Structure 1
Amino acid sequence: MSAKAEAADVVTCEIRDTVAWLTIDRPKKINALSSTVVKALTGHVQALQTDDRVKVIVLRGAGAHFSVGYDIAEEVEVGLARPEDWHGALSNNVGLSMAVWASQKPTIAAVDGWCLAGACELAMACDMIIATDRAQFGEPEIRFGSGPVTLLMPFVLGQKKTMELLLTGDTIPAAEAERLGLVNRTVAPEALDATVDQLAQKIALTPLITLRLTKIALTRAYEAMGLRNAVNVNLDLAATLNAAQAPEKTEFVTRVREQGLRKALDYRDSRYGALT
């Protein structure tokens, strides 16, 4: 579905007391981050910065999954080819993650099911992640000739595990994600909303000005370590990577066009099946 044809309500915003709940509402597409979703989410996050009713922002996906990441089918349909074309498109994606990262209001990702690729980056951009025990995290895009767009994982997990995950495309369950420090805590699926709400309400007891200034201080600390520079440098490299040609990538794109995304993903993952 093209961005023009997609419904405008792919992201909903509900304010409960002092907490804004932003929901990616494309359950039939496993909440894939289309260009319309990216634009809508970015707009909501930016608008909420000046809404003094809101102290905490929650991001979640409709249905049984957070999101499978950026909409690959849309990217294939648009037919981006040159690095400069990719740079423009990827800049919007990075812009969303960094808008969440730089939010002066605390952000919580409520994650159930799949949390992959650009959606994993989006969750990592949040200040905290509460996940269900059936959630899965990872960035499998390397398996079809792409790579991480918003390079946050080194700052969250450290060098060794980041190298393993980003060079294999493996996914990890919520329990391991919690052990590694990617997730704050795991809960049963039926307890996710209540757990997130309890955490958000606890944070919201703090004065708004205190939350804002503390968030600014923490954000600047990580950026002093080079986080934003790393993200910007990676954006330039990601544009070149996405435009680069490889036989595996050509086969994947052909299968998306001729057989559909599901069969293309099955082909992609079958190449790694014997090694997992």
Structure 2
Amino acid sequence: MEFVEESAPSATESRRLVKFSPPYRGENVAQPTFDLIDVEYDGPIGRIVLNSPEKRNPLGYERLLQIEMAAKLMELNDDVRVIIIKGQGKDFCAGFDITPVKPGEPVRNMPENGYIHPDRDNIWQSYDLEHLRVFTTLFELQKPVIAQIHGHCLAGGTELAGFCDLRVVAEDAKIGYPVTRNWSSGNLQYIPWLVGMTKAKYYMFTGEPMDGVEALRCGWASEAVPADELEARTEELARKIALTPTDLIMLTKRSINRQFEVMGMHTGLRSSVDIWALAVMRLMAKNDKDNSGDEFHRIAHTEGLKAALSWRDKTFGANYRTARHAEENGTGAAAADGDGAPAEHSPA
């Protein structure tokens, strides 16, 4: 993905999005200019780094495309044998950016004019099918993908991590799906495949987060280590895996993936998208097309996101905040939302 500027734009001019398909070997195609991620090559290790720490590395339509493109380019690079996805700053990824879009601002989580048709996209759930397409690229990539997780890993951030092959997690990380408390039935129900039915229901019914230790205990994480050892351990693991030739490890990865495909994993994930469409329709049916049936979004659009986060904390409990966050920033809800992200740039 490349943003082309024909001339120096003013502050109000938008960037032009140039899309292209992932290249195959030797094809002469436009190469991406990455600005929402950093791409690093270090011998057999490729790194994809979410680079918006001031926003707690939120996902969005453009960033997902860049993650996918970087992964495909690393798949083409014979020197790279293992890929690490990580986040800058205090957090891995606090989910999708749900800050209300102001008049004149571009939408953040989908194409400006919808995917296929704005009246049909919600029913079809083109939004989540696009997420599933990108995440499936990581799942089916020939090379192993490791998520290096610290700080908050929330909502869409847990999905990004969940479709990686391994998850190395800081023991004090906070992993959760807070939007299940008032908004989502679970956009992509990958979680039962990792932790089983009982834990998945507890996790999704309560919206309670789990730390890295619990994530390891229940099978969500591959390893949990002290936060100050996370970087070194992830690198050590990646380099150990990189000793295996790619043509062998790709077959190992496919062999394991196929076991879950035979059990219906892909069908189950697409079915969860259909149910999420009903969750969206549920909100729209309550009132009108601006989703004012969702109290959180009604408050966010009428009183501001901080007020909406305060409402959610009061209603469901502030289990994604800590006193430390409030003390550090001095303003509680203004400092970090119920999903652990800054209110002015709040991911879901």
TM-score with structure 1 setting the length: 0.90
d(CA) in 2 for partners of 1:258 and 1:22? 37
The one-letter code matched in structure 1 to 2:192 is P
Q: Report what 1:223 is aligned to.
A: 261
Is 1:30 aligned with 2:56?
A: yes
Cα distance per residue 1:146-165 (max 9 Å; x no partner)? 23222111110000110111
Higher helix share: 1
- How far has the Cα of 1:83 moved from its partner? 5.5
Q: 1:121 aligns with which of 159, 163, 178?
A: 159
- Superposed, 1:103-252 pairs within 5 Å as 103-245=141-283, 250-252=294-296
Give the number of the structure whose alpha-carbon radius of gyration is greater: 2
Unpaired runs of at least 5, structure 2: 1-11, 18-32, 321-348
Is 1:257 aligned with 2:301?
A: yes
- Contact 1:83/1:242 (8 A) holds in 2: no
Q: 2:92 aligns with which of 66, 83, 95?
A: 66
The one-letter code matched in structure 1 to 2:48 is L
d(CA) in 2 for partners of 1:109 and 1:151? 18
Change (3 A) 1:198 1:255: same
- How far has the Cα of 1:74 moved from its partner? 6.0
Give the % identical residues.
28
- How far has the Cα of 1:249 moved from its partner? 5.2
- How far has the Cα of 1:211 moved from its partner? 0.9
- How far has the Cα of 1:112 moved from its partner? 0.4
- Contact 1:30/1:68 (8 A) holds in 2: yes
Q: 2:41 aligns with which of 15, 22, 33?
A: 15
- Contact 1:69/1:116 (8 A) holds in 2: yes
Change (3 A) 1:275 1:140: closer
Change (3 A) 1:58 1:259: farther
The one-letter code matched in structure 2 to 1:101 is F
- How far has the Cα of 1:239 moved from its partner? 2.4
RMSD across aligned C-alpha pairs, in angstroms?
A: 2.7
In terms of mean alpha carbon deviation, does 162-171 or 252-261 score higher?
252-261
- Contact 1:108/1:128 (8 A) holds in 2: yes
Q: Report what 2:68 is aligned to.
A: 42
Unpaired runs of at least 5, structure 1: none
